Amino acid sequence: MTFVRVADINDVAEGSGKIVEANGKAIALFKVGGNIHAIDNTCLHRGGPLGDGFLDGNAVTCPLHGWRFDVTNGQCLTIPTMKVQSYAVKVEGNDVLVDA
């Protein structure tokens, strides 16, 4: 695993998302219950930015057309046979690191 620093823990507000980049990939970070989760930022439907979506519990809704994804594992809740990549996350001090 190669973890890359992508954000400060204080840059990700509880119950919301933040778009970051790691190794050339756009990744959406979400803080739910104090834990940080990371998934691909690109919605599988029309490429909408998931990091800009509305977060309700563990589910983010794409701001373009409403597809929903579980931020803990990338599972599409709209079409369960689909999934975006999820990434391992660790926090060291205030640094958020993602294995991307």
Is residue 54 a contact partner of residue 48, using CB atoms and an 8 Å limit?
A: no
pLDDT at 96 over 90: yes
- Please, which residues have CB within 8 angstroms of residue 90's CB and are 6 or more apart in sequence? 3, 97
Q: Quick: pLDDT tens for 18-69.
A: 999 999 999 999 999 999 999 999 999 988 999 999 999 999 999 999 999 9
Q: What is the pLDDT of residue 52?
A: 96
**Domain total in the chain:** 1
Domain span at 10: 3-99
Instruction: Say which CATH number the domain at 65 has.
Output: 2.102.10.10
Dihedral sign from CA coordinates of 28, 32, 37, 42:
negative
**Band of the pLDDT at 100, cuts 50, 70, 90?**
confident
Is residue 17 a contact partner of residue 48, using CB atoms and an 8 Å limit?
A: no
Q: What is the pLDDT of residue 22?
A: 93
pTM: 0.95
Angular region, 64: left φ>0, alpha ψ -120 to 50, beta rest: alpha
Region 3-11 average pLDDT: 96
What's the CA gap between 24 and 17, in Å, rounded? 19
Region 72-91 average pLDDT: 97
